[in-house]
Structure 1
Amino acid sequence: MFSSLRKLFTSGPDPRDARRPLWNAVVATARDPHWYADGDVPDTLDGRFDMISLVLALVLHRIDEEPAQALAGVHLTELFVDDMDGQMRQIGFGDMVVGKQIGRMVGALGGRLGAYRAADGSDELKAALIRNLWRGKDAPDAGLAHVMAEVAALRAGLSAMPVERLIAAERLPERA
């Protein structure tokens, strides 16, 4: 919806198109089967949203380390909103509901951006993962250990990647 309005009031290419490959990489990384099979993250609409939010938060944290690239983070967040809007409409949500749900999703992303700044291996990160991925229910020990290890590996891979290369990326760092 937002992209349709943008097209009405602007001319030329959408400046966010340059970030679309990175957005696709975020989604592909979040949909990697290991999160759901080895990590026991629920493979549900909520679980998928939670994983996209987790990966997106880690990518946005890395972009934030390079203030000159702040616009890339804004564009990536706008692509998140547009994609969530489109997904909800595709599964049948109406206009009245979509706006409220998008507001909740953006709020959830904001909360996760703060929570996922916790250090790798910390009790704070563990609590945030349990709260967000398993919705506060008991997380399977092996699954939680897998997710914590993979988050640390992804964060390390992102840290090793120059931000300029990251924002142009079509893939995120490979699993170890």
Structure 2
Amino acid sequence: MKTLTVLRHAKSSWDDAVARDFDRPLNARGQRAAVTVGRHMRSEGLAFDHVVASPAARIVETVEQVETGYGSALAPEWDRRIYLASASTLLDVVHELPAGADSALLIGHNPGLEDLVLMLVPDRVGDLLRDSVEEKFPTAALAMITFDTDDWGAIRSSAGTLVRFVRPRDLDPALGPES
């Protein structure tokens, strides 16, 4: 069995006058959300054999803040292809995950991450977790999908089971949508 966890970067700052979107940092709320998600990951005993992430500034900062809450380094492999990638490009990244890794964490951007989850998990009536992802995959949200295979390259559309979907507001209501 393979387990893929996807994490969207935390809320970034649009107030920072950066020349490129790639360089946009997190805002204070995003930093708090990332630490909170990291604490949740630790409390749930989540562990990863391999971590791959976009090298965009907001992802690098998200990783740093998640590590603070998680209490351990994630040590991601930085992969430029993940930056603003489509679901099909992200699936290519998944297919290339190391064979010896049974549990991987992919940290990236929307809409690609949301589209990837919706592609990999079949649309079944009454699947509340998938319905929640389809409604919105907010910043710093975490989704975990399991696959009945031992080969990352064999993962196909509708082959996964969504076993976890956690939004920052589920962990701390103060991190919910702004009024």
Q: Which has the higher contact order (CA 8 A, sep 6+)?
A: 1
TM-score by structure 2 length? 0.32
TM-score by structure 1 length? 0.32
Q: In proportion to residue count, which structure has more strand?
A: 2
Greater C-alpha radius of gyration: 1
Q: In proportion to residue count, which structure has more helix?
A: 1
